[in-house]
Structure formats: structure tokens, C-alpha cells
């Protein structure tokens, strides 16, 4: 066990979404009481990337998708329950992402399944199953780790400033709630670093249409200054968008990346709050990015979620 835009795009999107939805949504999960890797559903990344001119063989970013599953549980061979938070990670270069409802059902299938003669053996066997099953389904290397129940929370983005500090709420008018890159604007400045966070990101699941909330962190180093009013308007324009979390992160990265110069640095990280016991934390950064604020997030041995929203 090893560790086209336009009409064509819209048709594929609808067809793929219907396929995903028909797999699990609105159905009883009868297999959830017994370990069942067939519950996992892989979603191709290419579909959304094509619309934003993100080329598979020439990605403008590096990064990974990090998942925290807070409600994992299984049984030892003698029936003793074992409960842990599991942290899962895989590279954004993968052709597929895992659909979150399917991951939840898959992880739930461990709940009444028995593994190992003691807690340590149980967790080790489960981790190997999870890494193998997800790696097989997503066709990429997936790593996972169970965190101890007394793991300390770690703050990642300590020196990021809330973007609301730079705007005048009284004069700001936000009227577009479908993704609107035209509201973004830059002005010439001297080269400097910007570290900004926005605590009211909202988008909607492409499959379930349920709202998803999160905080987004943006680092860039450039001679161009992205005007904060426009950036707030742009981030708010996701409130009526229907995309997976990973797609939203990449869309935001690409729109900002297209504004900046080729040698500028950029990082975008979206820390979504959990829904259904799972949160998703995608991070994307330029290949020359010197900021490594996200390293704690990608460390499987650290519980890198310190916010009150968790």
C-alpha cells in the first residue's frame, strides 16, 4: 500500500456538476457504516482553469490544497472508539481535486470499521488507507497525518493587516456580486510588500449551492499598488459565485497575477471555515515568492488554524 470558454465550457460544467451531484446528493449514505473507498469522487481541475487561461503545463503558481477533517473516528479491533483531527495535503499540480461531500462520506465510512489492536495501530492503518485511496482516486501523491487531541493551535498570518483599515466604509459602494475583475485597479508606487487579509470572503458550492465563508490572505511585492477599495469590491463579487474553494483561490490569484508585472511576487491563501466537519485551505503562490507564511499550513504536524471561526 503506497504512502473553451463560452457555450462549450458551460455545457461541460453543467454536465460535470450534474454527474457529481447525482453521485451522493439527496441520497441515503447506506455505505457509511463500513469502510468504502468507492465513495470518493474526483473533480477535474482543468474545467475551471480553462476559463481563466490557466495552462496545465505552464501553471502560474505553485501550491497545495490542505484539508482539516475534525470528526474522524474509527474503532480498534476490540471496539474502542478512536477520534482525531486528520490533516490531508496534496499538490495543486494534480489533475483532480476531491469533492468535499464525497470525502466526508468516505471518512465517515471508517466510523464503525475496526482496525488494529490498539489506538496507535488503528490510526496508522487508517492513515495508510486514506493516503492510498486518495492517491489512487486523485492520481497524485496524497499525504495525511492525525494530530493529537491536545495539539496547540498555530497562528499563520500574524502580520497581515485587515483590508478594512484602508477603506472608507461610508463612501464605498459595492454593487457587483458576480466575479468582477474590472473593479480592480492599480497605481504606480515604489516597490514594496503588501500583506492584506479580508475576513468576509463568501462563495457558494458549485454542487450543493450552499454558502461557504472564509478569510483570505494576500501577499504581493510590486511597484504597482492595488487600490484597496477595488480589491474589496472584487473579493465581495464572489458572494454569488458558484465554485469550489480551490477554484476561487486560483481565480483570485490569476486576476491579481494578470495585474502585476512578470517578476512581481504574489501569494493567495483562502482559509475557509468548516462545513460538515471539514475545512479546505488552498494556497497558491508565484514561483519566485519569497513569503513563506503558509509553511505552517502545509506542515502536517501542525494544527495551523487559530481563528475564532474554527
Q: Could you read off the pLDDT of 283-294 as tens digits, one per residue?
A: 999 999 999 999
For residue 298, pLDDT beyond 60: yes
Rounded-to-integer distance, Cα 175 and Cα 261, Å: 29
Catalytic site residue from 65, 212, 279, 293 = 212
The question of whether 205 is a catalytic residue gets the answer yes
Average pLDDT, the chain: 89
- Helices 228-236 and 245-259: crossing angle in degrees, nearest 10, is 150
What is the per-residue burial (b if ≥16 Cβ within 10 Å, else e) of 43-80? bebebbbbbbebeeeebbbbbbbbbbbbbbebbbeeee
Residue reference for cell 454536465: 15
Q: How far is CA 265 from CA 155, 163, 222, in A?
A: 22, 19, 7
Q: Residue 18's pLDDT is what? A: 45
Rounded-to-integer distance, Cα 109 and Cα 32, Å: 4
C-alpha cell at 148: 493529537
Name the pLDDT band for 28 (thresholds 50, 70, 90): low
Average pLDDT over residues 240-261: 95
Radius of gyration in angstroms for the set of CA atoms belonging to the chain, rounded to a whole number: 20
The question of whether 64 is a catalytic residue gets the answer no
**Domains with residue ranges and CATH for the chain:** 6-147 (3.30.1130.10), 161-298 (3.30.1130.10)
Q: Residue 5's pLDDT is what? A: 28
What is the per-residue burial (b if ≥16 Cβ within 10 Å, else e) of 221-250? bbebebbbbbbbbbbbbbbebbbbbbbbbb
Taking the model in full, what pTM does it have?
Answer: 0.88
Amino acid at each position: 500500500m503506497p504512502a473553451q470558454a463560452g457555450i462549450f465550457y458551460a455545457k461541460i460544467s453543467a454536465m460535470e456538476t450534474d454527474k457529481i451531484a447525482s453521485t451522493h446528493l439527496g441520497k441515503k449514505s447506506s455505505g457509511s457504516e463500513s469502510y468504502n473507498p468507492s465513495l470518493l469522487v474526483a473533480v477535474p481541475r482543468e474545467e475551471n482553469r480553462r476559463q481563466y487561461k490557466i495552462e496545465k503545463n505552464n501553471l502560474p503558481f505553485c501550491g497545495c490544497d490542505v484539508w482539516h477533517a475534525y470528526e474522524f473516528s474509527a474503532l480498534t479491533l476490540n471496539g474502542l472508539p478512536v477520534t482525531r483531527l486528520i490533516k490531508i495535503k496534496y499538490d495543486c499540480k494534480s489533475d483532480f481535486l476531491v469533492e468535499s461531500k464525497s470525502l466526508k462520506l468516505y471518512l465517515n465510512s471508517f466510523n464503525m470499521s475496526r482496525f488494529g489492536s490498539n489506538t496507535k495501530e488503528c490510526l496508522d492503518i487508517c492513515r495508510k488507507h486514506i493516503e492510498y485511496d486518495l492517491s489512487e482516486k486523485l492520481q497524485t501523491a496524497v499525504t495525511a497525518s492525525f494530530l493529537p487531541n491536545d495539539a496547540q493551535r498555530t497562528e499563520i498570518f500574524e502580520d497581515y493587516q485587515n483590508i478594512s483599515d484602508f477603506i472608507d466604509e461610508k463612501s464605498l459602494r459595492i454593487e457587483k456580486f458576480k466575479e468582477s475583475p474590472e473593479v480592480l485597479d492599480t497605481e504606480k508606487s515604489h516597490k514594496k510588500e503588501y500583506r492584506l487579509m479580508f475576513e468576509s470572503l463568501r462563495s457558494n458550492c458549485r454542487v450543493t449551492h450552499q454558502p461557504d465563508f472564509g478569510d483570505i490572505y494576500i501577499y504581493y511585492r510590486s511597484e504597482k499598488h492595488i487600490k484597496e477599495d477595488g480589491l474589496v469590491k472584487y473579493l465581495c463579487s464572489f458572494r454569488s459565485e458558484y465554485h469550489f474553494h480551490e477554484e476561487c483561490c486560483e481565480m483570485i490569484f490569476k486576476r491579481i497575477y494578470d495585474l502585476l508585472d512578470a517578476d512581481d511576487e504574489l501569494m493567495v491563501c483562502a482559509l475557509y471555515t468548516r462545513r460538515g466537519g471539514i475545512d479546505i485551505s488552498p494556497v497558491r503562490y508565484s514561483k519566485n515568492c519569497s513569503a513563506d507564511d503558509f509553511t505552517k499550513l502545509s506542515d502536517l504536524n501542525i494544527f495551523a488554524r487559530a481563528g475564532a471561526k474554527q
